[in-house]
Chains A and B, each alone.
Chain A
């Protein structure tokens, strides 16, 4: 569900950026960037379709042959929920089941033109409902901790990829010599519904350093890498208390938190951030594997980690 939301937010971001063609140098590049960011370029490329809103949005949202599409995410979430019904409340199940039922019957026309934001809002609202029902109806036992571990690891991965799209754009702009442009950073804030939060925290104009800080090391932004990994560590501590053993992955989570705090800034930040984000994505994925290993998910369920098993 977290991935479905992120995909919808990224599509929204590209929609917004492509509406500013003059600013960003053409429609194609934005849709190309989000395909790249989502790791879906290789799946889209063989289709030989033009990279534009209609084709990319349809591929990312409705295409049942794309395992990362919103439709497939909802389907996978439903399958996982079905297999773990006892870990979920009826409310959570119904949200997931309805999401799957609703998107299956959505017309392909909804990815055209101005109909797209309405579809994206529907996806984002559905995931918000999912999160809300979890908050309001799931027991705060180990199942809740595993659910949150899955959500936070997935979200950290998504945020890192989002930042990477912006950072790549920053580098291109820098090469073109137009140093005053910050629309891409503003778009990232819009995509995550974080504009107000940003201004409340920084009380200053949008700039690369501050937006990077907001998404990387900020302690109170629920979509910062720090916040996500800190949450992972907190839930691992809950499990440590409950199970009376210290899982090795808790040390890995703490190491990842230290790593985040070394995020480069200032001069040369764009290149440094590229490397940082690439390393973060790798370490975060490794952490997911370590958690799965520590709690026996691989043994019990044949090689599936908690991010996919427990995150509806």
Chain B
């Protein structure tokens, strides 16, 4: 049994999280977990080519190919910064060359479920910043919203262009059986990782053309174009022609900077830092050697708190002074919109299935992980009584910070957590441990199972679109529960086969 801690949010690919203490468990931890490649001892049809190819190549060849792949990743510069003493300033996220594969019907279900969720979350954001119908209907309690650190008063009664709030949604999924996919969390602010999805495929195509050609794999390389189109579609009211788009980054020292520059390259837009932009009246301008150039859409990869020192953190040098004024005056679009953190708050997460029913009039296509809301006394009591079997998370946490993993916690840790739960129950939710599916990885001895999760990316503009793929993260340490890159997590190419 193991549990998903989820893919962290922006910048947290490097984060050392509380949950990321190494939780090695015995090989029996894979018992009961769905094996993506094998079913009842047989290789599943969709893995047949890959399995045959692995046997033909042999472990020695594949291990040396892994080194070649790493050299390529280094040359391309797909590294992430690690802060702290004695660490390589530029580390690679380990790449495992055995792909993770979905068939067309699995993908159809997943993608429709993720798209449905993205629509509902956007509808919720529009509602919660306007009339609050879902609060009035008693479906989502007012306290869950008012308690959320992600709620921004500034967004009240403001409608962003096209009513799109979260333009890119990264939905973290886990699989617990052949037919069961569960949503672990939604990332509605600045989800990262899509560059790995794209570069992993590039490396596979380059290094293993015969393997890639053996299956009808659906391409993922249209992602930057889809994103660009969605960003153009949400151009602000004061933009008459084709909008000028920039990517706002904290700069080259940010751990996700590679992704920022990569996406900007692929979309043909500029990467800018806060100091490159300024607001004049209702409009935003970029300083260039030619003089100021108008900016219409900002794809921001910095957190709300740093966006505008006039409104948020006054110490921020990453943002742009008075940006929120220009935004609310219709002079610029910010994607994702400020204040979207309310939608991916863990106190809101349990209500997403109800949101789908309320806004879309549909049944959810993907289920949540069973979740106990500690803000409710009876549920909190259940959590305290069953702490050894549960994972307890902070509602405003991400990347695994401030979590308790019951089955692995010491008696003292559990006792400390009980006190915290009693003191501020509304800060926590709890979930059961889950048997995450496994996918084989290449190790010295051959193939070995490791736990995986999955993050597809939904792009919301004039509709919702997903490229057929996503980021599969894998806990490379034997028995480990954690897919964090800083704790031995790696990535895999994810294939979606054509029907």
List the interface of chain A (C-beta within 8 A of B).
79, 82-83, 85-86, 90, 93-94, 97-98, 101, 142, 146, 239, 242-243, 295-297, 299-300
Q: How far is the CA of A101 from the CA of B76 in the complex (A)?
A: 11
Q: Across the A-B interface, give the 8 residue pairs with the lowest CB-CB distance, nearest first.
A: A85-B261, A82-B252, A295-B289, A97-B77, A86-B270, A98-B75, A300-B287, A83-B252
List the interface of chain B (C-beta within 8 A of A).
74-77, 251-252, 257, 261, 264-265, 269-271, 275-276, 287, 289-291
Cβ contacts under 8 Å, B252 to chain A: 79, 82-83
Asked whether, in the complex, the Cβ of A296 is within 8 Å of the Cβ of B287, the reply is yes
Known: A79-B252, A296-B289. A86 touches B75 (CB 8 A): no
Cβ contacts under 8 Å, B75 to chain A: 94, 97-98, 101
Cβ contacts under 8 Å, A242 to chain B: 290
**Most chain A CB neighbours (cut-off 10 Å) among B74, B252, B276, B291:** B252
Asked whether, in the complex, the Cβ of A101 is within 8 Å of the Cβ of B290, the reply is no
Rounded to whole Å, the gap between the CB of B201 and the closest CB of chain A is 16
| 8 A-B interface contacts by CB (under 8 A) | A86-B261, A86-B270, A90-B76, A98-B75, A101-B74, A142-B290, A146-B289, A295-B289
Q: How far is the CA of A243 from the CA of B293 in the complex (A)?
A: 13
Other A-B pairs, 9, CB within 8 Å; known A82-B257, A101-B75: A79-B252, A86-B261, A86-B264, A86-B270, A93-B77, A97-B75, A97-B76, A97-B77, A295-B289
Q: How far is the CA of A64 from the CA of B257 in the complex (A)?
A: 24
Rounded to whole Å, the gap between the CB of B268 and the closest CB of chain A is 9
Asked whether, in the complex, the Cβ of B265 is within 8 Å of the Cβ of A90, the reply is yes
Of the candidates A85, A90, A299, the one whose C-beta lies within 8 Å of that of B271 is A85
Asked whether, in the complex, the Cβ of A243 is within 8 Å of the Cβ of B257, the reply is no
Cβ contacts under 8 Å, B290 to chain A: 142, 242-243
Q: How far is the CA of A267 from the CA of B261 in the complex (A)?
A: 57
Asked whether, in the complex, the Cβ of A142 is within 8 Å of the Cβ of B264, the reply is no
Rounded to whole Å, the gap between the CB of A308 and the closest CB of chain B is 15
Q: How far is the CA of A300 from the CA of B264 in the complex (A)?
A: 20
Cβ contacts under 8 Å, B271 to chain A: 85-86
Cβ contacts under 8 Å, A243 to chain B: 289-291
Rounded to whole Å, the gap between the CB of A190 and the closest CB of chain B is 32
Rounded to whole Å, the gap between the CB of B417 and the closest CB of chain A is 42
Rounded to whole Å, the gap between the CB of B271 and the closest CB of chain A is 5
Asked whether, in the complex, the Cβ of B289 is within 8 Å of the Cβ of A82, the reply is no
Of the candidates B77, B257, B265, the one whose C-beta lies within 8 Å of that of A86 is B265
Rounded to whole Å, the gap between the CB of A274 and the closest CB of chain B is 37
Rounded to whole Å, the gap between the CB of B257 and the closest CB of chain A is 7
Cβ contacts under 8 Å, A94 to chain B: 75-77
